[in-house]
Structure 1
Amino acid sequence: MKIKKMIAPIIITCLLLLYFFLYILGIINIPSQLWVKIIMLIIPLGLMGVSIFVLVERIKEIRSGEEDDLSKY
């Protein structure tokens, strides 16, 4: 039963990572200076890391049985 609740966050995270990866490939192929490319790569790489962190936290929540965050308030 818990696996069904994990499917949506995993799929959304995979789609986000694919989008950011394609964005990074596009930035790499643009002819510009190296420092401009590095600055433009920092944001998608950071967002990729945050997406993975949020996925791991969500899986921990589902496994612990705390499925509804609004029940705290």
Structure 2
Amino acid sequence: MLKKLIAPIIVTVFTIAFLLFYFGLIFVLIPLSVVLRLLIGLIPLCLAGVSVFVLVERIKEVRSGEEDDLSNY
């Protein structure tokens, strides 16, 4: 079971690291007001949250034994 979770966890960690790096760059490099930077910065933060949600769903899927989603269609 752990072998099936290694790749999604690694991909999620790298994705979140990239999105947080991007969020940091927005605050350093964009010469806008703080409010606009926060609004623009919310996009990568929301994407990081969605990545964590998808990872949690994948972990639940693997634990329940449901492997092939395409077999449902």
Q: Same fold (TM over 0.5)?
A: yes
With the shorter chain as reference, the TM-score category is: over 0.9
Question: What is the aligned partner in structure 2 of residue 60 from structure 1?
Answer: 60
Runs of 4 or more above 3 Å deviation = none
Question: What is the aligned partner in structure 1 of residue 27 from structure 2?
Answer: 28
Question: 1:40 deviation in Å?
Answer: 0.7
Q: State the distance in 2 between where 1:65 and 1:71 align.
A: 13
Instruction: Confirm whether residue 5 of structure 1 aligns to residue 4 of structure 2.
Output: yes
Instruction: Confirm whether residue 40 of structure 1 aligns to residue 44 of structure 2.
Output: no
Query: Is there any run of 5+ residues in structure 2 with no aligned partner, and where?
Result: none
Q: State the distance in 2 between where 1:44 and 1:24 align.
A: 6
TM-score for the superposition, normalised by structure 2: 0.93
Give identity over the alignment, percent: 51
Q: State the distance in 2 between where 1:60 and 1:28 align.
A: 35
The alignment of Structure 1 onto Structure 2 pairs a total of residues equal to 72
SS of match in other structure, 1:67: coil
